[in-house]
Structures are given as structure tokens and as C-alpha cells.
Amino acid sequence: MEHTQTRVLSLENELLDHLAVPQNAQRLYEQRFKPELLTEEEAFARSVLEFQFSHIRKYGAPAEKEILESRFADITFVRPSSEVDWLADEFRTRYTRSETEEVLTSLARRIYKDSPQEIIDDASAQLYRIRETIRDKKTEMSSSEYAPVLQDYWDSVDDRSVGITYGFKEVDSALKGLKPGELVYVIGRPKRYKSWMLMKSMVGAQKVGKRAVFFTLEMDMPEMFQRYACMASGISWSAFKNRELMPSDMDNMSQNLKKINEIAEVKIIKPPRGERTVHSLKMIAKEHGADIVYIDQLKFIESSVKVRADMRFREIEYINEDLKDACSEFPIYVAAQFNREAANLTEMADLSKIGLSDSIGQTADVILGLHQTEDMRKSRVLQLGVIEARSYESKKWEMVVELSQNSNFRVTGQA
């Protein structure tokens, strides 16, 4: 059975080739991709799939391409031409449509023969079966699964498992960094350095080899990139913005940016309107192999569920639910705003002053706040604090703003 890229593209062919890529096979296994999603005509792909999943369960890792070609001697695996998550979604969509049509057709024939309650109960059971088959996450755990749970705990307390940096060692010490599964917000009034906080984390992540995707949904992409360039290279943002840099400064910036990009590459992206749902942003981030995602800012994310214009808060609730689901693969760090009531406060605002919706407080794992009065602004002093966190204590830090020196923020102590 010769299998080459000249063959007609089919879901089965693509699945076979993905199964020969260990990280893709592992990805399908982690997504709970099930053999039931394949048709009877795709029996060969099902046998390869079951072999790979059995190999993962037995040895802790997928079989290499050479092992598969030895085990299934009548096929030569080639490089897949699609993205593995797209392929999994295509299988799930096909299965859902086919199975749902069959269930509804069968139930329709029984409308005048069986009792309404019997039909409703049967419909619920069969639709639940379909939903469970296409789920990509576990919805239950057994008490017998204690071993992996305990192992996850011990892994989480290992210093090597500390998450991606916030950009400040003091904050990392308190919050253990940004980790997959965490949705984190930084909230402040306009022009209170929210974007810079995201940027500070991104530059720190890049320096240790993490791939980051930064979605700038409000500011122009060139300016956001200029901010990144100044912070990553330690060049004065004020001097850059006022066109006061010397040729030697530009040389230093170029050399520093070259060095940091040899460690890891980051992406700054401004998707057009209409392509800003959480699902769209997630797929873009995955295409770029993101280890962490930054979104500036919440109010420009588009909801996949449309409601009346005067019910934007409802859309924000849906967006937060989508963000929480999306962060299972990589931490998501989002900027949002306090409402006008927070403008004249002399202390850090609380959850009641968050704009748009209180669903942020219900959904986020960590909520950071930025506080700066006019007097603090003149003195270039800023306060960063933990407003709310599921697993960590509330703390506040004083820091100085050094944009006119080296495009940096430096913690000076705990408030």
C-alpha cells in the first residue's frame, strides 16, 4: 500500500501521517481522540491509532515512525500537510453530524409510536453519548487515578516546574509564574502601563527560550513592536519616541535584538476585526507554537455568541468562559480596565471596580491591579498588587517606572 503526498488528500491519509509524528500522536492522545470517530471504511487508520495509543499507555510515549513502518509493513508514512488540531476538529465535526442525523432520524420514526417521555430519555442518552465521544477534555476522575494526581502535585512543587515569568522575580516568588491552565488579568486605568506589564513578562519569557504570541487588539502593531524593541534591548523608550537616539544607541539595539531572537522568537499580531474570537486567537497562537499568550486588551475580543448591543456584559461572560477553556494549553495573560469609579481612588481598586463584567473575578485564576495617583505618576512610582487569586495570598509591590532610562520597571519593595 503505497502512501505518498501525490495521493488525494483525505482525513484517513492525514491521520495516518500525523500518527507517525510522535508529538502529534501524543497530542491526539491528550485530546482524548477516540477510535469511534473513524468510520468502518477507515479500519486501517483505526488499527494504527489503537497501536499508537496502546504504545503510549504501555511505554509512556508514542512509537517512532520506523517502528510503525515495521509494524505496518504495507504503508510508508510521509509528512502531514495539515495541522493536527484542525484534523481532530474535522473528525469530530464529521462524526457529530453523521451520528446526530442518524439519532434524530431514528427518533422521528418513533414520534407516533412511543411515549414522549421515552423519546426524550432516549434522545438525552444518545446525544450525551455523542457529546462524550467528541469531548477533548476529561469530565470525570476516578478515585483509582490517585497516582497521576500525586505525581502532578510533586511535579508542581519542583522548582523546575515554576511557570513563565511575570517579569519580576518578586512576583514570580509569590505567584510561581504563569502556568498552563491559568487565566491571568492585569487591570488598570487607561495609560497606567497595562500593555507594558504584558510586555515585561513577554521579554522575560523570550530570554529563557519561551515562544510568545502577543495580540495587540487596541494599539497599532508598529508602536507595540517599538515598545518591545526598546524593552528587550534596554533602550530608552522616551528617547526612541522623541527621535533622540544616537547611532551608537541604534547599533546597541540591533545587536541586543539579534541576541535575544537567537534564543526564541516572539510574535506581535493584530488580527483584523472579525477574526478576534477566543477560538481564532487560540488557533493563531497554536500555529505559532506559543508557550504563552498575551492579549491587549479584553474589550476588543469578539464574542462567538452575539447578543444585543446593550448586553455587552453578557458577551464578556462568554469570552471569559472561552478564555478559561483556551488556557488549558498555555497560560493566557490579559489586560483589562478598571471603570471610571477607580479613577480618583487613593488605594488599589477592588473587584467591584473592574469594567465590563464581574465575570473576570469569577473566572480568572489571578487578577493583578495597577494603581497610580497623579502624584505617583509625577514621581514615576507605580503599585502592582494581587487583587484576587485562587491559590495565592494578596500582596502589593512598589516599583519605579524607568521608561526614560532603559524601558524597564523595577520593584523597590513590598507595599
Radius of gyration of the chain (CA): 25
What's the pTM?
A: 0.72
Of residues 391 and 184, the one with the higher pLDDT is 184
**Predicted confidence band at 7 (pLDDT cuts at 50, 70, 90)?**
very low
- Residue 1: the pLDDT is 44
**Predicted confidence band at 144 (pLDDT cuts at 50, 70, 90)?**
confident
Determine the distance from the C-alpha atom of residue 412 to the mean position of all C-alpha atoms in its chain, rounded to a whole number.
31
Task: Give the least confident one: 7-21, 86-100, 193-207, 391-405.
Answer: 7-21
**Predicted confidence band at 204 (pLDDT cuts at 50, 70, 90)?**
very high
- Residue 9: the pLDDT is 59
- Inter-axis angle of helices 84-109 and 278-287, nearest 10: 140
- Residue 138: the pLDDT is 73
- Residue 358: the pLDDT is 79
Task: Give the least confident one: 188-197, 207-216, 346-355.
Answer: 346-355
Give me the amino acid identity at 120.
I
pLDDT in tens, 281-338: 999 999 899 999 999 999 999 998 887 777 778 889 999 999 999 998 899 999 999 9
Cell numbers 491559590 correspond to 391
Cell numbers 453530524 correspond to 97
Of residues 309 and 243, the one with the higher pLDDT is 243
Res 208 pLDDT > 70:
yes
The DSSP-derived string for 102-157 is HHHHHHHHTTTTS-HHHHHHHHHHHHHHHHHHH-SS-----GGGHHHHHHHHHHHH
In angstroms, the CA 57 to CA 152 distance is 17
Give the whole-number percent of the chain exceeding pLDDT 70: 96
- Residue 2: the pLDDT is 45
- Residue 342: the pLDDT is 82
The length of the chain is 415
Instruction: Write down the domain spans for the chain.
Output: 11-134, 159-414
Max avg pLDDT among 78-82, 134-138, 178-182 = 178-182
**Predicted confidence band at 148 (pLDDT cuts at 50, 70, 90)?**
confident
**Predicted confidence band at 161 (pLDDT cuts at 50, 70, 90)?**
low
Q: Pairing relation of β-strands 381-389 and 267-269?
A: unpaired
**Predicted confidence band at 149 (pLDDT cuts at 50, 70, 90)?**
confident
Dihedral sign (CA 154, 155, 160, 164) = negative
**Predicted confidence band at 192 (pLDDT cuts at 50, 70, 90)?**
very high
Q: What is the overall mean pLDDT for the chain? A: 90
HSE value, Cβ hemisphere, 13 Å, CA-based, for 152: 6
**Predicted confidence band at 140 (pLDDT cuts at 50, 70, 90)?**
confident
Q: Pairing relation of β-strands 381-389 and 292-296?
A: unpaired
Of residues 324 and 5, the one with the higher pLDDT is 324
State the Cα angle at 253 between 248 and 255, rounded to 5°.
95
Regarding the domain with residue range 159-414, which homologous superfamily does it belong to in the CATH classification?
Answer: P-loop containing nucleotide triphosphate hydrolases (3.40.50.300)
- Residue 22: the pLDDT is 94
Of residues 84 and 7, the one with the higher pLDDT is 84
Distance in Å from the first CA to the final CA of the chain: 69
Res 31 pLDDT > 50:
yes
CB 303 within 8 A of CB 318: yes
CB 230 within 8 A of CB 240: yes
Q: Hey, do 11-134 and 159-414 end up sharing a CATH topology, with the first three levels equal? A: no
**Arch. (CATH architecture) of 11-134:** Orthogonal Bundle (1.10)
